[in-house]
Chain A
Amino acid sequence: MNVLVGVGSPNDSPAAIERAIRRATRVGNELTVAILDPETATDELEATVTATLDEHDITASTRHVAGQPGSELVDIAESEGFDEIVLAGGQTSPMGKITIDKTVEFVVLNAHTTVTLVR
């Protein structure tokens, strides 16, 4: 399986990113981590991804994705033959409510591949 992991939706926590990448290794033997460039904190995101890959001895290619993250992810998955998209499955409010941002919603509604949201 060729799996595309998208990280960097607004508020994806380092723990959520780690969970998503590790979960992806369970289904994918070829892994690509797409860092969805937000306006800020790209370095932090990249550091989190690198640390996760190193710590768990995971081989993956990483790439930066500019533009609308949802549509870019769907486009990459379709045009490059990915089998599945893996994303962190939403943020938790102070109350404990799970909220799903626009990137996740766009991917869930528009991807032609299987989409996994990791909790």
Chain B
Amino acid sequence: MNSDRRYPEAVSGPFEQPPVRFTDREGRDIEIRPYDGSEAEYEPVVEMYVEFDPSDRAQGIPPGQESRVRTWLDGILAEDCYNLIAWDGDTAAGHSTLVPDGDDDYELAIFVLQEYQGAGIGTHLIESLLGYGCSEEINCVWLTVERWNHAAVSLYEKVGFETTGVESFDLEMAIRIAEDD
């Protein structure tokens, strides 16, 4: 993407650090913790994306077939990425991820399974991911979002993201979580 991306000057945060445990607005006990790379965690994450409502896809992700889901996940669950999973027992309810952009900064994305949406899980997933990133010495994070997705844009603004570009169908937003070194 653009290496000349602009970031806000002001530092946002501090944010909560994972693991985070809370009761969501539907009364479910949710735990958010870093993905551990095990088979026992990988398969439920695949399952979450296989069950993902196609109408909630954005900009081509998550992909639509299990084989494509696995290929895509292998890229973003790699060791140079930072991943949090929101668990309801053994069920993966949500996922947030930071993927290196090759330019010292990270692209963020967040996914919440339909039946877990609107219960406060997304806010915890994004805030704890930013806290996680900050503890891993990441300074700046960006994302793109379809510009008609007002719910997502509001969530990003709430935690401190600012709109930094309107490419076409999508907005680019960025946040600073630490001063430059």
Chain A residues with a Cβ under 8 A of chain B = 91-102, 104-105
Contacts and interface: CB of A to CB of B under 8 A. Distances in A.
A18 B144 CA distance: 27
B1 A105 contact: no
B167 A95 contact: no
Interface of B: 1, 58-61, 63, 72, 75-76, 97, 99-102, 107, 109, 144, 167-170
Contacts of B60: 92, 96-98
Contacts of B61: 95-97
Contact of B59 (A97, A101, A104): A97
20 contacts: A93-B101, A94-B99, A94-B101, A94-B102, A95-B76, A95-B97, A95-B99, A95-B107, A96-B63, A97-B58, A97-B107, A98-B59, A98-B60, A99-B167, A100-B168, A100-B170, A101-B167, A101-B168, A102-B167, A105-B168
B142 to A, nearest CB: 9
Given A98-B59, A98-B60, A99-B144, A93 B168 contact: no
Contact of A104 (B63, B109, B144, B168): B168
A105 B100 contact: no
A114 to B, nearest CB: 19
